[in-house]
Chains A and B, each alone.
Chain A
Amino acid sequence: MERRVFLQGLALPCLAAAAGTPSDAQFTVEARFYDKLAYKKIKCKLCPRECVIDDRERGYCGVRENRGGTYYSLVHSRVCAAHIDPIEKKPLFHFLPGTMAFSVATAGCNVNCKMCQNWDISQVRPEQVYATYMPPAKLAALARQNDCPSIAYTYSEPVVFSEYVFDSAEAGRAAGVKSVVISGGYIQEEPLKQLCRRVDAIKIDLKAFSEKFYKEVVNGELKPVLNALVTIRKQNVWTEIVCLVIPTLNDSDAEFQALARWVKSELGPDVPVHFSQFHPDYLLKNLPPTPVPTLERAKALCDAEGLHYVYIGNIPGHPAESTHCPKCRRVVVERVGFSVRAISLEGAKCRFCHQIIPGVWEKA
């Protein structure tokens, strides 16, 4: 099977339902996290934005709507993208390497990153993109049928379709399929804790280490994302961090060092950090791709600060794609691009020196 298979190309029986409308009950469930206010207004309590929303209006994410004082998600089971991807593409390097993840998304996002690569689904309303009906049990079954030990909620922002993530992760668990979340981490503590109880790994896009960048480029805030990372670690859910390095915007030595020091002190040195190459897209087309030496500088600075697993991403064939044992420095997971060439682990230990390599290595 190809690595990347559009769902429309699969002969799946669940595709009877086509694109829905905002009023389509098929995709609509009451939202989990909100407060009711006077005059039929509501306050969303899912993400730190805390949108106060009038009747008939939607929140910033565009996928949650106030209808008569009750708040609804419009994207439950409303899958607008589905692919079978290597888990390395997420990227999650310490989570079942060499396996495939059944990867899904709905429309919507709670930030608006100027460099978004998936803006055509993340920055639209659900009715503006083709979607198919894929209820949780069916999603879990599809993952199993396609030999995917995990479901990945990805591409757009799973926080805004968290009701679907919750239900699907539970269905997956019942079917023996794990769940991983690929998120910007802009979420309040209570929904995050509930998410952590249901999923097996979370990768956070730490888009920069400055509030200025978050305000100007992301339309969000850094502090809640850092808080989310700490919460995830405390909940003992496997965590990896990706930093997309953008020339002139978040590529200074000082920022890399500050990031490394914060990760080491607040999360520990074993949390993998991936520095990925930026490509111009969406509203940020005036900057070049990140030079490889910049990514190498970021890695070197983080290595020097004592982080154990620092990777370089989007540069296929770069040696820093592989996992090295922090004790004996031998390669324990060899990667080229999204392919895993060799795994030199015995259980969770380095085959050469028996150093424990943290991660989720077993399917069971």
Chain B
Amino acid sequence: MRGGSQNGITRRNLLTTGLAGALVARAAGADKSTVVIARDPALRGAGHSPDATRVAKLLDRAVESFYACDSPLEAWKKIVRPGEVVGLKVNCLSGRGAATSVVLVEAICERLQQAGIPQNNIVIWDRLDSDLESAGFRPSRGDRVRYIGNDSTGYGDELAIYGSAGSRLANTLTKTCDAVINLPVLKDHGIVGVTLALKNLFGAIHNPNKYHSDAGNPYVADVNMFPAIRQKVRLTICDGLTAQYEGGPSYMPQWSWPYNGLLVARDPVALDYIGWQIIEHKRAEMGMKSLRELKREPLYIATAADSAHRLGVNDPARIARVEV
């Protein structure tokens, strides 16, 4: 996964799509990494919580735009193949409020099934069973989607090693799943600056506590170099329905805001760069210091893009930010 190849829009797709968003994406995104941002100001209707129907439509719009397709099914068939075991790497440590939204995950599960993934081949996973439960991910009667905490299935014995990082990898990632869709939350992190696509993969290793020093640099980038992560993560859909600009990763309602959006990318570095800018913008709007001033600028994003890592691009001139 490198710079230009991050763009999910093909020439063929361009010709077949009628979506304005896709045209915008194509025009802006040639030879660039595309990050699609889909937002819906009316996502919550009159209520406080996002409306499930509107979340599903928002997801469809985001994925269709990213893949320049005119139907969600067509887009999802580009992401997964029938019969694969697909992991959804949610972010649950902070419990409800700052975790990946259940309504979003349910919408993704629905689309995966339509794309040929049997219920039992969908695996919602994170570090701990208790984390999943606290975020609202519980099997219901007759529910055959699997919910797996790494604590219940364990880690491999072999160390994956890259740069400064050496870790055992979750069996869910290495043995259970054929493909992974990464579902981080758009939020601040009190130590490493922001926790988005790259940082969410700390949930795949046995020793994340070892890699927060120096604002996570270079550890976050190094962990993402592990082959199992590079090979299996197909797409990132960052949950920005409710975002948080301070106090993360714990849920701090006073610093959360209804961003009502999703960020979609195959390039995790580009997505992290754009997500970071969204958080910085909100911090400035709220009169808060920048992450650099607070000595927790997420420099690991630049490291992930450097010549040693090449996990994606962080140069804004090489990122197509497509808002639909």
Contacts and interface: CB of A to CB of B under 8 A. Distances in A.
Interface of A: 21-23, 39-41, 52, 54-62, 112, 123-125, 127-128, 219, 282-283
A3 to B, nearest CB: 26
Contacts, number: 56
B206 interface: yes
A61 B209 contact: yes
Nearest to B127: A125
A87 B101 CA distance: 55
B116 interface: no
B207 A62 contact: yes
Contacts of B210: 60, 62, 112, 123, 219
Interface string B211-223: 0110000000000
B213 A219 contact: yes
Interface stretch (B17-25, B246-254, B271-279): B246-254
Given A52-B190, A59-B209, A60-B210, A39 B247 contact: yes
A54 B209 contact: no
Contact of A39 (B155, B209, B212, B250): B250
B210 to A, nearest CB: 5
B249 A57 contact: yes
Contacts of A61: 209
Given A22-B128, A22-B130, A219-B213, 19 more contacts: A23-B130, A41-B190, A52-B190, A55-B250, A56-B93, A57-B250, A58-B209, A60-B210, A60-B213, A62-B209, A112-B210, A123-B210, A124-B168, A124-B206, A124-B207, A125-B206, A125-B207, A128-B155, A128-B206
A39 B166 CA distance: 32
A interface, by DSSP: helix, strand, loop or mixed? loop
Interface of B: 93-95, 128, 130, 151, 154-155, 159, 161, 166, 168, 190-191, 206-207, 209-210, 212-213, 247-250, 252
20 contacts: A22-B130, A39-B252, A40-B250, A52-B190, A52-B191, A54-B94, A54-B248, A54-B249, A56-B94, A56-B95, A57-B249, A57-B250, A59-B209, A60-B209, A60-B210, A60-B213, A112-B210, A125-B209, A128-B155, A128-B206
B130 to A, nearest CB: 7
A56 B250 contact: yes
A58 B128 CA distance: 13
A300 B212 CA distance: 41
Nearest to B213: A219
Nearest to A220: B213
Contacts of B250: 39-40, 54-57
Contacts of B128: 22
A92 B210 CA distance: 30
Contacts of B155: 128
A57 B93 contact: yes
B190 to A, nearest CB: 6
Given A127-B151, A283-B166, A60 B206 contact: no
A278 to B, nearest CB: 17
Contacts of B213: 60, 219
Given A54-B250, A60-B212, A21 B151 contact: yes
Contacts of B212: 60
B226 to A, nearest CB: 14
B72 to A, nearest CB: 35
Contact of B161 (A22, A58, A283): A283
A57 B92 CA distance: 12
A282 B159 CA distance: 8
Nearest to B207: A123
Contacts of A55: 250
Contacts of B249: 54, 57
A60 B210 CA distance: 6
Contacts of B94: 54, 56
Contacts of A282: 159, 166
Contacts of A123: 207, 210
A100 to B, nearest CB: 31
B250 to A, nearest CB: 4
B213 to A, nearest CB: 6
B167 to A, nearest CB: 9
Nearest to A23: B130
A346 B218 CA distance: 56
Nearest to B155: A128
Nearest to B247: A39
Contacts of A23: 130
Contacts of B247: 39
Contacts of B190: 41, 52, 54
Nearest to A59: B209
Nearest to A127: B151
A130 to B, nearest CB: 12
Nearest to A219: B213
A57 B130 CA distance: 13
A41 B128 CA distance: 21
B36 to A, nearest CB: 31
A127 B206 CA distance: 10
Contacts of B154: 128
A361 B206 CA distance: 43
Contacts of B191: 52
